[in-house]
Amino acid sequence: MGTLPRPFAARRGDSCVTHGGRAGAVKESTRLTSPLGLRYNKPDVPDLNYPLELLWDLFAQDSPSGDEGQAADWLAARLARDVPDAHLTRLGDSLIAARGDRPRVAVLAHLDTTGWTLGYDKRLLRIGGPDGKPGDGIRPVGRPDTGNTLARRKDGAWRVRGKTDAPPGSCWVYSARPAQNGGEIDAPYLDNRAGVWAAVQVLLHCPSVAVAFTSGEETRGVGALACARLLSETHGITQALICDLTWHTRWVKCGRGPAVSLRDSSVPRQSYLVRVLAQAETSGLPFQREIESDGGSDGAALDRSGFGIDWAFVGAPENDPHTARERVDIGDLQGMAALLVRLVDGLSEGQE
Inter-residue contact 301 to 228 (CB < 8 Å): yes
- Residue 288 in contact with a copy of itself, rule: CB under 8 A: no
Binding mask 307-346 for a copy of itself (x = CB under 8 A): xx-x------------------------------------
In angstroms, give the least distance from the CB of 261 to a copy of itself: 10
- Residue 66 in contact with a copy of itself, rule: CB under 8 A: yes
In angstroms, give the least distance from the CB of 180 to a copy of itself: 31
For a copy of itself, the closer CB: 13 or 154: 154
Give strand ranges (E) for the chain.
87-91, 94-99, 106-110, 115-118, 123-127, 138-140, 149-152, 158-161, 171-174, 179-181, 184-187, 209-214, 239-243, 246-247, 259-263, 288-291, 310-315, 317-319, 326-329
The DSSP 8-state label assigned to residue 351 in this structure reads: -
Binding mask 83-112 for a copy of itself (x = CB under 8 A): --------xxx-------------------
d(CA 129, CA 115): 8
- Residue 154 in contact with a copy of itself, rule: CB under 8 A: no
- Residue 278 in contact with a copy of itself, rule: CB under 8 A: no
- Residue 77 in contact with a copy of itself, rule: CB under 8 A: no
- Residue 226 in contact with a copy of itself, rule: CB under 8 A: yes
d(CA 331, CA 256): 8
60: exposed, middle or buried (C-beta count within 10 Å: 0-12, 13-18, 19+)?
exposed
At 10, give phi and psi (nearest 5°). Answer: -145, -175
* Position among 109, 176, 196, 300 found at the interface with a copy of itself (CB under 8 A): 300
For the beta carbon of residue 260, count every other beta carbon within 10 angstroms: 25
Binding positions for a copy of itself, 1-60, rule CB under 8 A: none
For a copy of itself, the closer CB: 27 or 153: 153
- Residue 161 in contact with a copy of itself, rule: CB under 8 A: no
d(CA 31, CA 163): 48
**Residue 122 — left, alpha, or beta (φ > 0 → left; ψ -120 to 50 → alpha)?**
left
For the beta carbon of residue 229, count every other beta carbon within 10 angstroms: 13
For a copy of itself, the closer CB: 81 or 250: 250
- Residue 146 in contact with a copy of itself, rule: CB under 8 A: no
- Residue 69 in contact with a copy of itself, rule: CB under 8 A: yes
* Position among 14, 67, 186, 244 found at the interface with a copy of itself (CB under 8 A): 67
Q: What is the CA radius of gyration of the chain?
A: 19
User: DSSP string covering 12-55, please?
Assistant: TT--TT--SSPPPPPPP----SSTT------TTSPPS---THHH
Specify the stretch interacting with a copy of itself by CB under 8 A; choose among 103-111, 145-153, 205-213, 264-272: 264-272
For a copy of itself, the closer CB: 51 or 69: 69
Instruction: Enumerate binding residues for a copy of itself (CB under 8 A).
Output: 65-67, 69, 91-93, 117-120, 125-127, 168-169, 171, 215-216, 219-220, 222, 225-226, 228-229, 250-251, 262-263, 266-271, 289, 291-293, 300, 303-308, 310
